[in-house]
Amino acid sequence: MHYTLCDLIADLTQNAVEAASSHIRVEFTESDDKLTVYIRDNGKGMDGELLKKVRDPFYTDGIKHPNRKIGMGIPFLIQTTADTGGNWKIDSVPGKGTVVYMCFDLSNIDTPPVGDVCRLFRQLLIFPGSYELEIVRTKHTKDCSLNYTLLRSELSDALGKMETAADLALLDEFLQSQENG
């Protein structure tokens, strides 16, 4: 299992990047007792047979990661939601893309911690490749109310290629400012 929910979300979003998507939208909605995430991409998609296979932790296509014998992202999603009262769904159409939905019960004692949201967003924004990433962040808790959208292209225009330490420091500062309202 992943240490935090953010680790799991990063793993599943990386799948979208690696599926040759040109546009990925991550909707990250948090309340006091629930975290709901949608990862939508316009990548290569999967047919029904492949959707069944990716649920198996011992399945891998051998192409994306030639030396790996397992693929754990979706099996971990299934296990985490099953063990903690959450739910999930994957819809995919070959040639059109994939939507991964996940909802976690944050009040369940067995649910992993959400994790570092700023670090998650930074990681998603700097995955290599030519794609647009749209992050829609909503948080409504008793202590905090946030609602903002990030576009990778706009951040890249403002900060540069997000490859140097200075670029990444500015990105970190900006993400913290968004999370701190």
CATH number of the domain that 140 lies in? Answer: 3.30.565
Domain of 59, in residue numbers:
5-179
pTM of the predicted model as reported, rounded to 2 decimal places: 0.91
Run of H or E including 64: none
- Distance of alpha carbon 87 from alpha carbon 77, whole angstroms: 9
- What tokens were used for 113? 């911690």
**Is the pLDDT assigned to residue 172 strictly greater than 90?**
yes
Q: Which residues of 137-148 are buried (b: 16+ CB within 10 A; e: fewer)?
A: bebeeeeeeeee
* In contact, 136 and 27? CB cutoff 8 Å: yes
pLDDT digits (tens, 9 = 90+) for 60-110: 655 554 444 445 688 899 999 999 999 999 999 999 999 999 999 999 999
Dihedral Cα 127, 104, 148, 159, nearest 10 deg:
-20
User: What is the domain count for the chain?
Assistant: 1
The terminus-to-terminus CA distance of the chain in angstroms comes to 31
pLDDT digits (tens, 9 = 90+) for 44-61: 999 999 888 887 766 565
